Structure 1
Amino acid sequence: MTTAPDTEQVRGRAADGGPASATAPDDVIRTSGLTKRFRSGQLAVDRLDLTVPRGSVFGFLGPNGSGKTTTIRMLMGLIAPSSGLATVLGAPMPQSVGTVLPRVGALIEGPALYGFLSGRDNLVRFDAADPTSDPRTRARRVAEALDRVGLTAAAGKKARAYSLGMKQRLGLASALLQPRELLVLDEPTNGLDPQGMREIRTLVREVAAEGTTVFLSSHLLDEIEQVCTHAAVMSRGRLVVQGTVAELAGRAQGRLVVRTPDVAKAGEVLSEHRVADLRIGEARLDGLAVVADEETLPGLCAALVAAGVRVHGFGVERGTLEDAFVALTGEGFDVAG
């Protein structure tokens, strides 16, 4: 694997490497030089400059071990940074945990549940521990939270009997017991089947539509691309790039897909055909993926036909977050959704 390049941000740091420009007052999360080095000497987060706009669904993307959870723990005041600054909802962390956390719903590193209590009773206990919650509306809010995550039928079941996916849903329900300004979700679809993943994505969109900023960490590129408006990419503790999802995906070159049963012959012809920046990609069941400028399509088609290659069609695929991540870091990771 290649070493991740120096941080290159769409926003948050000047192109010349100087300090970032003044952050807009409506940024929900902002970090400057945030660093965490553990006693073992491990540098988990290295000089992170992160900006999360209010009202966004912000994807915090990176492979497992890239520093995402350590960053979230610092933002939530669970651990202190070694150096640097972090503000959440305009207040410094961890100094302001008492005033900030009541305005934040969070699910970090999986839910901590009372196994001997039912799902419903777990939520009742969590809500009772929140000094800002209203006991008069507790039963209604618990029922609504259970319904939103699809656990109404299992509400009376002991939490220790829940599957991993059900526990994850219950943790989400605890973060949704009342409206929050910021919802922080660390790998929210962990342990869920494909249908459960789709339901959680829908839920994230609904929460965002209600005005809550969502900060969602994941190692699943497809998940980020489907639900997020903005994203940041982490690699080996460093921020590689951040910006809107459209900006990040736009950094990757698109692919031209040649549909032909003569894949091997097509590859030979295209390799001999001198086109600027032409790169032959992966072979597919129905053809070949080619990285090339769309304007070269007529020439490529003519060359293939002249060589006797049976061409059934062409298609253009836009660049994805996966393409952008690989191009920026030389790494790949789980992209299943």
Structure 2
Amino acid sequence: MEERSAAEADAERAPGADPAADPVASGRDAPVIVTRALTKRYRGGQLAVDGLDLTVPAGSVFGFLGPNGSGKTTTIRMLMGLIEPTSGTARVLGRPMPRAARAVLPHVGALIEGPAPYGFLSGRDNLLRYDAADPTADPRTRRARVAEALDRVGLTAAAGKKAKAYSLGMKQRLGLAAALLRPRALLVLDEPTNGLDPQGMREIRSLVRELADDGTTVFLSSHLLDEIEQVCTHAAVMARGRLITQGAVADLAARARGRLVVTTPDPGEAARVLKEQGVADVVVAENRVTGEPPDRDMAEVNAALVRAGVRVRGFGVERASLEDAFVELTGEGFDVAG
């Protein structure tokens, strides 16, 4: 078992009392989250997370991507110290979790598994109560910080309304506001756009980008590929409890080969020639023929089309998307939009 230093022990007893024990100060360029062989097995033998090795760079917007049931929320609960791992290790802001939770969590804002506000209280009063429960929060600035958090998520006009009258999307915004009551080194968001309409999704994505620009590392789990591709700088893909891949979003998409696209008024003849040239998975849709590029010079494929009398109006390879990369890596379909 990892031996605990005196500084760590002091920090756990009195979080925030010693600036030198501040987990954020332990290395600003170090990864914000690191797991090694992190595993969670529930009673009955269900393996929810299997040997996860994850590295989240500081300053990134990190997308944690996977279908519902892939182990994302279980991983987040272990990272936040809400449940114990069966085996393996997790470090958040340079400290071991869940052991250093008291030192780490004041620097982390989180929205996990959806908000659960007090229905009989207004949105504003919910946030005031949440903040009052934080022993490290300054009561002198409480009302100003609550008002700012409500404004950032677009709930100022509904701040006095009882939470039981809030829609699912409004409750989601309120949970996000609770995570933003104080400046955070790390913001952990579990499906933050759940229940939001398209306009609300755009607003939350814009807010995430603003937070990242201000220096907050954002760890965002989602089952929506489109959401990850639009807002994240880095991503990890989970499936059936295992990590499939991780890295910069642009690099993950670049690993997929993309699709050859031919625009022509002769789609049937074009499809025949492309198959002869080794193009796989040929799909015809009106005047557009697509397929997986063969391992050969694309100029030769284009020349073969012209020799066959195909009137080529457009020819090229479309850049692969994160969806293409996911399907290529896992062989599975996926939700791509909200």
Same fold (TM over 0.5): yes
Which of the residues 198, 201, 212 maps onto 1:197? 201
Offset at residue 285 of structure 1 (A) = 4.9
2-structure distance, mates of 1:117, 1:198: 28
Cα RMSD after superposing both structures: 1.9
Secondary structure of 1:205's counterpart equals helix
Secondary structure of 2:32's counterpart equals strand
Contact 2:225/2:336 (<8 A) preserved: yes
Contact 2:280/2:294 (<8 A) preserved: no
Alignment of 1:70-109 (within 5 A): 70-109=74-113
Cα 1:285–1:131 shift into 2, 3 Å: farther
Alignment of 1:249-264 (within 5 A): 249-264=253-268
The number of aligned residues is 312
Secondary structure of 1:319's counterpart equals coil
1-structure distance, mates of 2:28, 2:55: 9
Partner of 2:324: 323
1-structure distance, mates of 2:194, 2:86: 29
Contact 1:267/1:280 (<8 A) preserved: no
2-structure distance, mates of 1:247, 1:80: 33
Offset at residue 317 of structure 1 (A) = 1.4
Partner of 1:334: 335
Cα 1:140–1:294 shift into 2, 3 Å: farther
Partner of 2:12: none
TM-score for the superposition, normalised by structure 1: 0.88
Identity %: 74
Which of the residues 239, 246, 249 maps onto 2:250? 246
Contact 1:262/1:287 (<8 A) preserved: no
Contact 1:91/1:100 (<8 A) preserved: yes
Contact 2:120/2:162 (<8 A) preserved: yes
- Asked if residue 219 in structure 1 is aligned to residue 220 in structure 2, the reply is no
Cα 1:311–1:89 shift into 2, 3 Å: same
Secondary structure of 1:166's counterpart equals helix
Contact 1:221/1:335 (<8 A) preserved: yes
Partner of 2:310: 309
Partner of 2:23: none
TM-score for the superposition, normalised by structure 2: 0.87
1-structure distance, mates of 2:296, 2:159: 58
Offset at residue 150 of structure 1 (A) = 1.0
| Unaligned runs of at least 5 residues, structure 2 | 1-26
- Asked if residue 171 in structure 1 is aligned to residue 169 in structure 2, the reply is no
Secondary structure of 2:236's counterpart equals strand
Alignment of 1:114-129 (within 5 A): 114-129=118-133
Partner of 2:13: none
Offset at residue 315 of structure 1 (A) = 3.8
Offset at residue 45 of structure 1 (A) = 0.3
Deviation digits for residues 204-261 of structure 1, max 9, x if unmatched? Answer: 0100111111111111111111111111111100011111112211110022211224
Q: Which has the higher contact order (CA 8 A, sep 6+)?
A: 1
Offset at residue 295 of structure 1 (A) = 6.9
Alignment of 1:132-171 (within 5 A): 132-171=136-175
| Unaligned runs of at least 5 residues, structure 1 | 1-22
Offset at residue 294 of structure 1 (A) = 9.6
Offset at residue 99 of structure 1 (A) = 1.2
- Asked if residue 292 in structure 1 is aligned to residue 293 in structure 2, the reply is yes
Secondary structure of 1:157's counterpart equals coil
Amino acid of the structure 1 residue aligned with 2:201? M
Amino acid of the structure 2 residue aligned with 1:325? F
